[in-house]
Structure formats: structure tokens, C-alpha cells
Amino acid sequence: MKNIAILGFGVVGGGVADLITKNCAEVEALGGEQINIKYILDLRDFPDSPFAGKVVHDYSLIVNDPEVDVIIEVMGGSHPAYEFTVAALKAGKSVITSNKEVVANFGDEFLALAEEAGVCYRFEAAVGGGIPVLSPIISCVKQNKITEVRGILNGTTNYILTKMFSLGDSFEAALSDAQAKGYAERNPDADVLGTDACRKIAILTALVTGKLIPTDKIHTEGITGVRHEDVLMAESVGLKIKLLGRCLVKDEGIYAMVAPFMLPSDAPLAGVNGVFNAVEVAGEPINSVMFYGPGAGAGPTASAVVGDLMEILRSGRHYAVPEFTKGDIGVADFGGFRCRTYISMVGVCEKCVESAFGKIHVIGTEGEYAFITPEMSEAETDAAIEKLIGRGGELKSRIRLL
């Protein structure tokens, strides 16, 4: 018999408890062992829950109980999740999490501790909700030279952008709708400012490159600057706007970023709508594969968590990540990142824009002067914009092209 404890009895914790209970026979048949939920840690009591008798408020009960084999941390946030995880691993208990924040900040430390203690640390649910992403990517990494991982990593912002495209909503209207539907928090900053996607691309980058880049070294933009006008401009030239997390592996180093991108309507990621997530991996010789599915929600997330549990019970294995260490070694200067960019300005003339940017592709001249630059480095684009601002121009929008 294997005893487990669940830290946090919110939506995800409840989903995990339900799924383990419901699929118990199957889970046991495949894992080969009986599974018993021994404790559920939460600040609250749940007198009406079938799990009421398992709820405790003191973590030391759990971490000091030698019978507990696996701890499932679904509390979210960095603290006390960090302290609880360290204590669990040091006590020789395997840990599973859906908490991207704590993985993005401390995943390297946890993996080293787990290795030392001979236990497992797994976090499939931290990226892409229920989509099996991490394990297949790790498989791909081994025999491929990965050149890029990119994805729609946040369902809330994708829902908002989808509404802005399909219904012509403004950002504010789409956000209100997402909040009304429960897709966006009352304080939507972590989603709309790109913080959530940034944590996930940090984790994906670590899997592909072996380096856990500090999140503050990842260029991060949210979608608050995406205007209805930009949506219309994009549509007029067959492009869609998506908030992408990207990690590119180049000769000069790693570019990791979160930002809105314009991409062709027939690109695989352009077809990912609503609250769905998708992760695309490109490399040689695999070409490009994509994983698509629900990026959040109690059921899908619980499925990923219980998948990790099965894997631990069956094989007692870590992810076979080559290395996963902290360090910005290998992070390229973002100023050197090259792409084409959609820019919209007022107070500029065609001649001055061309003198600053070279051969541009003009897509709109009414009210604002909207154009797409040639491929340039970020530093060159910055300089050209500065030049136009110096001559009285005003920047309304700047969105990179994929």
C-alpha cells in the first residue's frame, strides 16, 4: 500500500482526490499497489466532503509520518510550497506538483534534492494542464537537435485574443467576459501581463536546454497593449495575434521570451482557440510536432497529476532530464533577436519611415501609419523607432511576426 498526501484542497486538489478515488481499481491494477489518500492539508475544514476525515492543518503531521510515500503539492504560489517541497524531499518522499511558479523558481533545486534522496520530483501538470507535454518533449530532446519550443501557454489570454478576433471585442470587453466565465481571476495580472506564460516557457526552456533561466531574464510582454485596431490590421493581411512563449536555440545563445506575435492564419498555432493550449517543438530530424489540449481545469490537471503518480509507482523514475541547473549561461542578448515587426505610428510620413526602416510593407495609412518591417534585430528596430519619435512620431503599437 502506498500512502499519499495532497497539499491544498482547492479545485485541482479536489479533482486529484476524486480521480484517485474513482479510478482506484484501475490505478492500483496498473501501479501494482493499493493507493490510500492519508492526508489532505488545507487551512479550511470541509465537513461535508467525503474526504473530511483526512483533512489536517499541520504539515508536520504529514512530513514526519514515515508511512507517507508521495506528496502531491497543488497549493500554488512560491511559499510555503517551496519549504514544504524541500522538507518532503529531504524526508525521502516523492513530490508531484502542478505549481508552475515553484517549478520555474526552484525546479533545479528540487530535482537535485530528489536525486540525492533517491526519490522523484515530477511536474507534468505545471505546463499545458492535462496535455502530456513534458514527457514527450523529453523523449524528443534525446535524439533531436531542438531548435525551438513555442506555445500558447496561457488559456485566459488566448480566450481574450480569440474573442477580440471572432467577435471584434475590445481587450476590456473580452477580459470582462473571461472574468464572468471564470477563466480570468479578478486580478488578471499574472495572465494578461504574461507572468504565467513566462513561468511555463522557463520550464520548457529548462527541459530543452538544461538551463533554468531566472524568469526575470526572460523578455516578457503581456497582451494589454494589443488593440482592436491591431486585430483588424492583422486580419487584413491574413495574420492572427497570439500570445506565445518561445525558446529559440541559436548559435549565439538562447532567446527566451513571452510576447504577442502575429502569425499566418494557417499556422498550426493560429488554429488554437479559446482556453486551449498548445506546444510546438521544432528540431532536426523531427521537423515539428505539436501537442494540443485543455491547458487548465480540474479534470485535465488532475489527469496529469495522477499520470505522474502512476509513473512514480510503476517505475520510480524521474524525468530523464540531461541537466536542469540554474544559470543564465547561454542566454543571448535580446537586442540580437531578429524578426519582422508590425508597427503602427502616427505623425510619420512614408519617406521618413523608409529612411528609418528600409523596405517596409505598408498595410494601413488611415489615421495611423501601419507597416511591417523587414527582418531586423531588436536593437535595430528600437533605434529606428527612436529615430522616428525624435522627428515627432508617436508609437501606437509594436507586435513581432512569427
Q: Cell numbers 484542497 correspond to what residue?
A: 9
Q: How far is the CB of 366 from its own copies (least distance, A)?
A: 31
Q: Cell numbers 477580440 correspond to what residue?
A: 164
Using alpha carbons, select from 209, 295, 300, 222 the residue that is nearest to residue 255.
209
Report 296-315 residues binding its own copies (CB under 8 A): 297-300, 302-303, 306-307, 309-311, 314-315
Q: Does 19 bind its own copies (CB under 8 A)?
A: yes
Q: Does 264 bind its own copies (CB under 8 A)?
A: no
Residue 16 or 348 having the CB closest to its own copies: 16
**Binding segment toward its own copies, per CB under 8 A, in 89-97, 152-160, 282-290, 367-375:** 282-290
Long-range residue pairs from 182-189, CB within 8 A, at least 24 positions apart, any chain:
183/155, 183/156, 183/159, 183/275, 184/156, 184/159, 184/160, 188/156
Respond yes or no: is residue 200 known to be catalytic: yes
Helix (H, G, I), strand (E, B) or coil at 351: helix
Residue 105's contacts (CB-CB under 8 Å, 6 or more residues apart) are 78, 82, 215
**How many Cα atoms occupy the beta-carbon half-sphere of 112 within 13 Å?**
10
What is the 3 state secondary structure string of 211-278?
EECCHHHCEECCCCCCCHHHHHHHHHCCEEEEEEEEEEEECCEEEEEEEEEEEECCCHHHHCCCCEEE
Chain length of the chain: 402
**Binding segment toward its own copies, per CB under 8 A, in 131-139, 214-222, 338-346, 355-363:** 131-139
Q: Does 286 bind its own copies (CB under 8 A)?
A: yes
Q: Does 35 bind its own copies (CB under 8 A)?
A: no
**Binding segment toward its own copies, per CB under 8 A, in 78-86, 103-111, 284-292, 372-380:** 284-292
Which of 143, 180, 366, 390 binds its own copies (CB under 8 A)? It is: 143
Q: Does 285 bind its own copies (CB under 8 A)?
A: yes
Residue 136 or 253 having the CB closest to its own copies: 136
Q: How far is the CB of 324 from its own copies (least distance, A)?
A: 14
Catalytic residues: 200
Residues that bind its own copies (CB under 8 A): 15, 19, 23, 26-27, 29-30, 130-132, 135-136, 139-140, 142-145, 266, 268, 271, 273, 284-294, 297-300, 302-303, 306-307, 309-311, 314-315, 317, 320, 322
